[in-house]
Amino acid sequence: MFPFFSCFSLFSFFIIFFLSLSCPCFPARTIPDQVTVVTADAHNATWHDFKRFLDACRGSHISGMSELKKYFHRFGYLSLAETNFTDTFDTQFESAVVLYQNRLGLPVTGKLDSDTISTIMSPRCGVSDSAHAALPPLHAARHYAYFYGRPRWARSSPMTLSYAFSPNNMIGYLSLSDIQTIFRRSFSRWSAVIPVNFTETDVYDSADIKIGFYRGDHGDGQPFDGVLGVLAHAFSPQNGRLHLDASESWAVDFKSVGSKVAVDLESVATHEIGHVLGLAHSSAKEAVMYPNLRPRTKKVDLKMDDVAGVQALYGSNPNFKFSSLFESENSYNQAFGFSSTHSNWTISLSLLLFIFFLPT
């Protein structure tokens, strides 16, 4: 019926195919990630102890492995309702490890290799990795995910969401103005790519998005665990709660903070806002929505995966330009030592795939 379109689609397929064969490509799941095991004073004590399970595999029996199973249960990889886990690396736990490696873009070995242990020990978001629905087969090349039911904010267009800071749950060593500036920048990163505006209000109780810093059990069923470990969590639309662990050493500028356990507030704020908007965790390591963030690491620029995911929910900001995204991708590739030629090839191929497989 549309012969020109058919020929164009076939031609485009071959162009993309030959581009992928003729140049090096660095997919999200294989981007090099430094395996860094930090010292005990810079880690959640329980999670730091997991390093002794290095190279454990099916059949291993190591005292304390039940604690690691509780970690996997907490983040959605073991579905056992019981909490009486054993210290044996059984078949069920092996399946959980494989699932964990798949979802977090790690080499799939089925054992607790250095990449896996390092990621497990790394501080992360408290939102479960299983809190999302699987995408249909068409979406297999994508890494972003949504919460069950694909919830989003329902507002008239143009959409504006209000946010406010808890008057009783803040931290004293950072000024309110500094925190406001950080969140203003984080919200603006998302509003730059979708037709959603964010405005701060002083009326906390009526705000769409409620932000606060809390310690331990704070009444939402997801208690914080002290320094590092879980850094923050947020709830899917249209709940609007965004909670950060008050026990962390939050930083707005690493140059003025010498702590080894300092956590970048803007990076975590940007990630949690993604949850507030409806994005679950991504398996692309470079994405803002990847669940883990090491101490003294800044990760605030939205990547192609983040943008594709959130635009599928809300559409594109009419002023959004791909060039700004490419600059961010180039910076990331250079940080990992990729050549500009490789980066340009990868970005071109990614853009073509993004256009052809954009959700409808």
Give the residue numbers of the binding site for Ca(2+): 208, 225-226, 245, 248
Annotated binding-site positions for Zn(2+)? 125, 218, 220, 233, 243, 271, 275, 281, 289
Return the DSSP state at 167: S
Provide the 3-class DSSP secondary structure of residue 47.
helix
Cα–Cα distances in angstroms (integers) from residue 54 to residues 49, 235, 276, in the given order: 10, 33, 35
Contacts of 294 (CB under 8 A, 6+ apart): 36, 38, 122, 123
Q: Are 211 and 163 in contact (CB under 8 A)?
A: yes
User: Is 67 part of the annotated catalytic residue set?
Assistant: no
From its phi and psi, is residue 157 left (phi > 0), alpha (psi between -120 and 50) or beta? beta
Binding site listing = 125, 208, 218, 220, 225-226, 233, 243, 245, 248, 271, 275, 281, 289
The one-letter code for the residue type at 254 is F
Cα–Cα separations (whole angstroms), residue 36 to 110, 193, 296, 359: 20, 33, 13, 37
Contact 294, 35 (CB under 8 A): no
Helix pair angle (176-191, 265-277), 10° resolution:
50
Catalytic residue among 67, 82, 272, 286: 272
The phi and psi torsions of 104 (rounded to 5 degrees) equal -105, 15
HSE toward the beta carbon, residue 6, CA cutoff 13 A = 3
- What is the C-alpha radius of gyration for the chain, rounded to an integer number of angstroms? 21
Closest CA to 275 of 359, 151, 170, 358: 151
Question: How many residues are there in the chain?
Answer: 360
Residues noted as catalytic: 272
